[in-house]
Every structure is written in C-alpha cells, then in structure tokens.
Amino acid sequence: METALVRGVPDSFAHALRADSGPALDPYLARKQHGEYVAALASAGYVIEELATDESHPDCVFVEDAAVVIGSVAVIARSGAASRREEVGPVREALSSRFTCAAIQAPGTLDGGDVMQIGGQLYVGRSKRTNDDGIAQLAAVAAPFRIDVTVVDVRGALHLKSVVLPVDDETVLVTPDAVDEVALGGLGIVYEADTEHHRCSALPLRDGRLLVSGGAPETTNRLKNAGYDVDVIDASELQAADGGLTCLSILFTEPLPVVPDQHENGKP
Ligand code: CIR
C-alpha cells in the first residue's frame, strides 16, 4: 500500500516565503489547486493521509520539505529557513508510527526539496536551505542501506528538485544551466524548454502516469514525445510560492507489519 502524506493550505499561505515578489498569493486558489492535486494522487491509487493545516506556518502545504523517508528511516528535516522549522511536528508524528525516526541536528540544515531519490540512488542539493552538515547527517542515515549520496550544487534556484526532477526511475527533467550535469551521472535527461525555465514541475505517479504542471506547453510536449503518459494539472498558485508538484506530498510504501516470532511466544 502506498500512502501520500499531504497537508492543507492555510489562509496564511498569502504570506508564504517567495524569492520574487509578484501579485498577492491567493490561498483560495491555492486550496482549489491543492485539492485537484490530491484528487490526482487518489485516482492513481495512493491512500491519502491529510495533516491538519497550521495557520502559524504559511508554507506548511509544502510538506515534502519536512521529512525524507530512506529505507526504514524517516529523517526529520531542519529547514534552512528558520520560520519553517516548527512545521515538522505533525509530520514526525505521522511517520514515527511507521518508521524509525532520525532528525537533522544543528548546525545541519536540510529541506526535503533538496533530496532526490531515483533508481535507488540519492542525490542531495547543496543550496541556500541545505548545508554540508545536513548532507553529512543524511549520508550517515543512508550508509547502512548501502546508498551513496551524490552532492549537487544548486545555482539560482530554491531546491535541487526546483530544477532536477525524476520523471521515471532513470530519467530527470532538468532546467538547463541550473546544475553541473556531470553530477547527474548516467541519468537520462529531458530539458525544460528555454522559454519555460522554472515553470514545469513533474511527479511520476505509481500508476505509470506523469503528473505535470500546466503553463509549460513546450516542455509538456517534449515529455509526451519522449513517451510519457502525461496528465497536466494547474498548480500555478502553489508555484507562485516557489513550490512544485513533488513538494506537496511525501509518498511512501507502508512498511510491512512485524510478525511476532511464534517460537519466542512459546508456540510450535
Ligand atoms: C519556501 O520558500 O520554503 C516555500 N515557499 C516553497 C517550498 C517549496 N518546496 C519544495 O519545492 N520542496
């Protein structure tokens, strides 16, 4: 069973963090778009678990940043944005009943938006939000699972996954010139169109479809031409607060229940 942990949009979303000023953010429109996103996940077969929103945290809808699940461990993040650090409480609570929890400790910082898991590999963005100490702590969690961390410097964007997004197990959608692509090793690349930089976000769903944000028609066509079964949704108001499609959920497979050893219970 695969679960999507999501979190509702607060009215205070109007005051969400954003790199550039623009028209005022509209929490009602963001909520409508978020509802369509959640419906798309549900139609793909995810079991939706929605955490209560939190008016004191305008960015709490971007739940991906609060935690990362690696194997049997949920790593509770420590955002590089101090105003977001208290978002983690309900996320930790939801994950701790399923996973062992580890938490990034000061002076480490890490946002989930900088952590990309693809094909069993782990890529972490070194960004304004995620520092070397946070990356080292994440790498220590990943090591027992024999997962190495590849560090990718992020230029001119909020997070690694603002500019490098998995579209399947071996291919990423990349904003040109945003990262040193040598770090992406043998991954296949589909480039975002030059006129659409930072406009296209994507999320591969468990049913094989690729959810793609509207407003980037040329990039969407590239993805279709590359053979992806694309489903477009409008996430413009969430993107206006520097979010993308990955950042609105934490997707995980429910861990198998532990079956008690019958011999230890004295049974044959
Ligand atoms: C922020 O600046 O933290 C939010 N306004 C946007 C966070 C987006 N998170 C993500 O893409 N993982």
**pLDDT(263) > 80:** no
Rounded to the nearest angstrom, the distance between the alpha carbon of 78 and the centre of ligand 1 is 13
What is the per-residue pLDDT across 13-70, written as a single tens digit (0 to 9) for each?
999 999 988 899 999 999 999 999 999 999 999 999 999 999 999 999 999 999 999 9
For residue 134, pLDDT over 70 is answered with yes
Q: 27-31, 107-111, 240-244, 258-262: which range is least confident on average? A: 258-262
Decide if 34 is catalytic: no
pLDDT of the residue at 106: 98
Average pLDDT over residues 192-220: 95
Which residues does ligand 1 sit against, CB inside 6 Å? 16-18, 59, 62, 64-65, 81, 84, 113, 158-159, 161-162, 241-244, 247
- Burial class (CB within 10 angstroms; exposed 0-12, middle 13-18, buried 19+) of 186: exposed
Q: How far is the CA of 237 from the centre of ligand 1 (A)?
A: 12
pLDDT at position 34? 98
Q: What is the pTM of this model?
A: 0.94
Strand ranges (E), the chain: 2-7, 47-51, 67-70, 73-76, 100-103, 115-118, 121-126, 149-153, 164-166, 171-174, 188-191, 202-204, 209-213, 229-233, 250-253
How many A from CA of 226 to the centre of ligand 1? 28
Ligand 1, atom 3, residue with closest C-alpha = 17
Residue range 70-119, pLDDT digits in tens: 999 999 999 999 999 999 999 999 999 999 999 999 999 999 999 999 99
> What's the confidence (pLDDT) of residue 198?
84
Contacts of residue 23, defined as CB under 8 A and 6 or more positions apart, other chains included, come to 240
pLDDT at residue 78, as a whole number:
98
Residue whose Cα lies nearest atom 12 of ligand 1: it is 113
**Annotated active-site residue in 159, 197, 198, 200:** 159
How far is ligand 1, taken at its centre, from the CA of residue 71, in Å?
A: 24
Query: For tokens 């205070």, what's the residue?
Result: 12
List, for residues 216-233, the tens digit of each pLDDT value: 999 999 999 999 999 999
For atom 2 of ligand 1, the residue with the nearest CA is 17
Catalytic-role residue among 60, 197, 198, 247 = 247
Ligand 1, atom 8, lies closest to the CA of 243
pLDDT category at 260 given cuts 50, 70, 90 is confident
Which is more confident, 197 or 29? 29
Mark whether 247 is an active-site residue: yes
Question: How many angstroms is it from 61 CA to the middle of ligand 1?
Answer: 9
